[in-house]
Amino acid sequence: MLTTLKTDYPVDTGAVVLTIKIGEGQLGTSVVRLGETQLDIGEIDVLEIGQGPDLAGQVLFIKTVVADVNDNTNHTSVSYELQGGKADKVFNLDGTADEEGGSVVYRASFSLKS
């Protein structure tokens, strides 16, 4: 199981869009930063990060916290979907709350490359 991710995402000429999906019936919130600039906080659904050429060389940082509000499982999962680059990609992370009603914090950073 992985709760941190550091990877590259090749951008293209179009706009890059981010969607974050919280699975397992749990409740989660995310903050999205591009460099030092906070782009959004809350539920992230089809968030335009910027145009590919403008993003090249920057780092997209996402922090997500997921609360275990499902008493059937302590599993949590987050899917980061990036679209508009050279290829659309989905990055899946998983974590298990260490106690009933606990929470899991995820951190992902994407180096946006041309």
Task: Please give the residue ranges that form the binding site for another protein (CB under 8 A).
Answer: 21-31, 41-42, 63-65, 67-75, 77, 79, 92, 94, 99-103, 105
CB of 86 to another protein, least distance (A): 24
Alpha carbon of 20 to those of 13, 72, 75: distances in Å?
22, 23, 17
CB of 64 to another protein, least distance (A): 8
- Residue 49: Cβ within 10 Å count: 25
Give the residues across from 82 on adjacent strands: 18, 89
Tell me if residue 54 falls in helix, strand or coil: helix
Tell me if residue 52 falls in helix, strand or coil: helix
For residue 58, give the nearest of 93, 21, 94, 85 by alpha carbon.
85
State which residue, 25 or 57, has the beta carbon closest to another protein: 25
State which residue, 63 or 113, has the beta carbon closest to another protein: 63
CB of 90 to another protein, least distance (A): 9
CB of 47 to another protein, least distance (A): 15
State which residue, 33 or 113, has the beta carbon closest to another protein: 33
